Copies of this chain bind each other. A is one copy, B any other.
Amino acid sequence: MTKKVAIGVDIGGTNTAIGIVDPEGNVMVKDNIPTPSHGDIDKYISDLALAIDELMKSVKLLNKDLEFPGIGIGAPNGNYYSGTIEYAPNLSFRGVVRLVELLRNHFPKMEAMALTNDANAAALGEMIYGGAKGMKNFVMYTLGTGVGSGLIVNGDLVYGSDGFAGECGHTILIPDGRRCGCGALGHLEAYCSAPGMKRTAFELLAQYNATDSLLASKSFNELDSKMIYEAAVEGDKIALEVFEKTGAWLGQGLADTVHYLSPEAIFLFGGPTAAGDYIFKPTKEHMEKHLLPIYKDKVPILPSKLKAGDAAIVGASALVWKELGK
């Protein structure tokens, strides 16, 4: 009997991860190719197609009855409607790249081929394989170098009029506040991303002149959110306050999200969420504080159930099932 499996591709700044994912969300085989700096998109698409072909062959050796109905792709600035990557600052390909069209030339028989950004892919992954199974309205925040978000309304991703909806990391948390990576001031991403936590730690070290903190021996370029977590576990006051403040800021942002969309749940994904209660507890507490009475105690903040290492591939592959299910 044939078994359908989905191909997921995650295009990052330096690396492209490819995997074949079974309907339960397990990665059966995976591979990596460099995301090139040479900017030659045709060369890159050929390399990508070759890598996908080889993965399909290798997994067919395990089970010759597998079928591959589609490829889902997550990429920065990936546009679902047009299948293009548009002006992605961290990729070497300039302007608008017709990614789906180019890849389709190599796989003309695939039933489904679709592209979106990585946070949207993560949200779909959570809905198809993860903790949001059966939910029709929820939100996924991905906390990492930046803060991404994927919004699910009435069982579908919110793409908006142009394919680019769901940039909640770039909403204004503190007017005229910290400078965000995008250049604007006061965005949520500048406070609640992993680098945002580092910035908070440095502000607090400066404020308290905290020479006795475990974080005081690290340079700005050394410190990362994992070290802050480890220091918090040791009881370091600065590190503990970083989590408290990050939770306060994130909670404020999530309250706004609830007031917009009244989701069934909010999922958090990414490095900083490994700190568990250190981040979830203050976030929940401060979100609740900001909610209108009609929303209070209704919206859980949950850790993503996607496995950290494979989440990007798995999320991208979920696009295939979503397309086939239409």
Q: Write the residues of chain A forming the contact surface with B, with a CB cutoff of 8 angstroms.
A: 77, 86-87, 135-138, 151, 153-154, 156, 158-168, 170-175, 182, 184, 252, 255-257, 259-264, 290, 292-295, 298
Contacts and interface: CB of A to CB of B under 8 A. Distances in A.
**In the assembly, how many copies of this chain are there?**
2
A298 B162 contact: yes
B262 A170 contact: no
Contacts of A164: 262, 294-295
30 contacts: A77-B294, A87-B293, A87-B294, A136-B161, A137-B165, A138-B161, A151-B261, A153-B153, A153-B158, A158-B260, A160-B261, A160-B262, A160-B263, A162-B298, A164-B262, A164-B294, A164-B295, A166-B260, A167-B260, A167-B262, A170-B259, A170-B292, A171-B256, A171-B259, A171-B260, A172-B256, A174-B175, A182-B292, A257-B260, A260-B261
Contacts of A264: 161
Contacts of A182: 292
Q: Give the secondary structure class of A's interface.
A: loop
A161 B263 CA distance: 5
A87 B292 CA distance: 12
Given A153-B154, A170-B259, 12 more contacts: A135-B161, A153-B160, A154-B158, A158-B260, A162-B262, A164-B262, A164-B294, A167-B262, A170-B292, A171-B255, A171-B256, A171-B260
Contact of A151 (B257, B260, B298): B260
Nearest to A165: B262
